[in-house]
């Protein structure tokens, strides 16, 4: 019995991609000219990581329906995933010719343009997409990441605000972790900008204190303290204002500046994985702190 297109799409939405793919393959054999089936068949292939197969199907789709804008966008996404950036840009550009207000194509083209660094054209596209879809989290995260690359301090401030807005609105969203990492990078870059002789000695001394603090603490508690600080940092730690203080439940009776917590968290992470990427950019300070604390 031949399944229906609706049944296949329902399974795909439920995450049962392998079963959905089998159904769509059957449907495509029976209806080889059906653009809607072909599109969903290609998308299912792409979702399963079979990008090259998806590209073949999408090219076939566009032979049948050259102005199938969703198919063109999907082709761009598949090309981008395969590292074929020029082909991806061409596909997204074509999608915008077909449908000038296509937000997905705008944000994807903007994100691609930003990969090599800050790009004026990328910012223009992302801001245009934001005007069309001000609540789109993917547009906002891509714009924030782009602005973060700019040398303009105002751009950094705007990037920081966008990251914080995303986390305030939906801390569980798919892009929330990227926003958290962005806030950590901004905080770390602010710290780094004040370094003298390539080192922040205040951070070094905070780390020395943290190394001594953790010396006789069992690993489980160190992990819990580090995790609690990381949770505090999910909304952004203010590393510029020493007067702003934070409390850590597992370190009662004390309060800390944002810079102190960033330093303690870095040390805590390094207790478990000496190669982990904390996104704080404070490895040189940590190495110096370790060298200055031989008894640790």
DSSP string, 106-161: HHHHHHHHHTTS--HHHHHHHHHHHHH-TT-HHHHHHHHHHHHHSS-HHHHHHHHH
Domains contained in the chain, CATH given: 1-100 (1.25.40.10), 201-291 (no CATH)
Reduced to 3 states (helix: H, G, I; strand: E, B; else coil), residue 2 is: coil
How is residue 233 annotated by DSSP? G
Q: Which of 196, 137, 188 is nearest to 163 (CA)?
A: 137
Tell me, rounded to whole angstroms, the distance of Cα 206 from its chain centroid. 29
pLDDT at position 200, please? 80
How is residue 235 annotated by DSSP? G
pLDDT at position 105, please? 92
Q: What percent of the chain has pLDDT over 90?
A: 51
What is the distance between the alpha carbons of residues 221 and 207, in angstroms, rounded to a whole number?
17
Q: What is the mean pLDDT of the chain?
A: 87
Cα–Cα distances in Å, from 290 out to 1, 32, 244, 287?
A: 68, 65, 27, 5
Q: Which two tokens stand for residue 82?
A: 């395969």
What is the distance between the alpha carbons of residues 143 and 137, in angstroms, rounded to a whole number?
10
pTM of the complete model beyond 0.85: no
Q: Which two tokens stand for residue 86?
A: 């020029």
Residue 192 pLDDT more than 70?
no
Bridge partners, 246 (sequence order): 256
What is the distance between the alpha carbons of residues 245 and 256, in angstroms, rounded to a whole number?
5
Report the pLDDT averaged over residues 51-69: 95
pLDDT at position 270, please? 87
Report the pLDDT averaged over residues 276-290: 77
What is the distance between the alpha carbons of residues 145 and 228, in angstroms, rounded to a whole number?
25
pLDDT top residue among 281 and 52: 52
Report the pLDDT averaged over residues 114-136: 86
Report the pLDDT averaged over residues 118-146: 91
Is residue 23 a contact partner of residue 40, using CB atoms and an 8 Å limit? no
Is residue 21 a contact partner of residue 53, using CB atoms and an 8 Å limit? no
Q: How far apart are the first and last CA of the chain?
A: 70
Candidate from 167-176, 196-205, 257-266 with smallest mean pLDDT = 196-205
Residue 23 pLDDT more than 80?
yes
């Amino acid at each position: 019995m031949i399944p229906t297109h609706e049944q296949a799409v329902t399974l795909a939405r439920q995450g049962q991609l392998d079963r959905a793919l089998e159904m769509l393959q059957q449907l495509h054999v029976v209806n080889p000219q059906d653009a809607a089936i072909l599109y969903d068949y290609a998308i299912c292939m792409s979702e399963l990581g079979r990008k090259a197969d998806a590209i073949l199907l999408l090219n076939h789709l566009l032979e049948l329906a050259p102005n199938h804008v969703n198919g063109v966008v999907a082709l761009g996404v598949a090309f981008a995933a395969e590292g074929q950036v020029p082909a991806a840009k061409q596909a997204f550009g074509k999608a915008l010719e077909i449908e000038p207000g296509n937000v997905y194509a705008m944000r994807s083209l903007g994100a691609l343009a930003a990969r090599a660094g800050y790009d004026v054209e990328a910012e223009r596209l992302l801001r245009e997409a934001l005007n069309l879809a001000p609540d789109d989290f993917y547009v906002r995260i891509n714009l924030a990441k782009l602005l973060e690359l700019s040398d303009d301090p105002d751009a950094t401030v705007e990037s920081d605000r966008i990251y914080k807005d995303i986390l305030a609105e939906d801390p569980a969203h798919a892009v929330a972790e990227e926003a958290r990492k962005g806030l950590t990078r901004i905080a770390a870059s602010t710290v780094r900008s004040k370094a003298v002789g390539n080192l922040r000695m205040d951070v070094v001394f905070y780390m020395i204190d943290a190394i001594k603090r953790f010396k006789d603490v069992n690993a489980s508690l160190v992990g819990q303290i580090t995790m609690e600080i990381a949770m505090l940092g999910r909304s952004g730690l203010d590393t510029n204002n020493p007067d702003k203080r934070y409390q850590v439940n597992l370190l009662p009776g004390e309060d800390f500046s944002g810079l102190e917590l960033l330093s303690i968290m870095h040390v805590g992470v390094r207790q478990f994985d000496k190669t982990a990427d904390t996104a704080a950019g404070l490895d040189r300070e940590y190495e110096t702190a370790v060298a200055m604390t031989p008894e640790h």
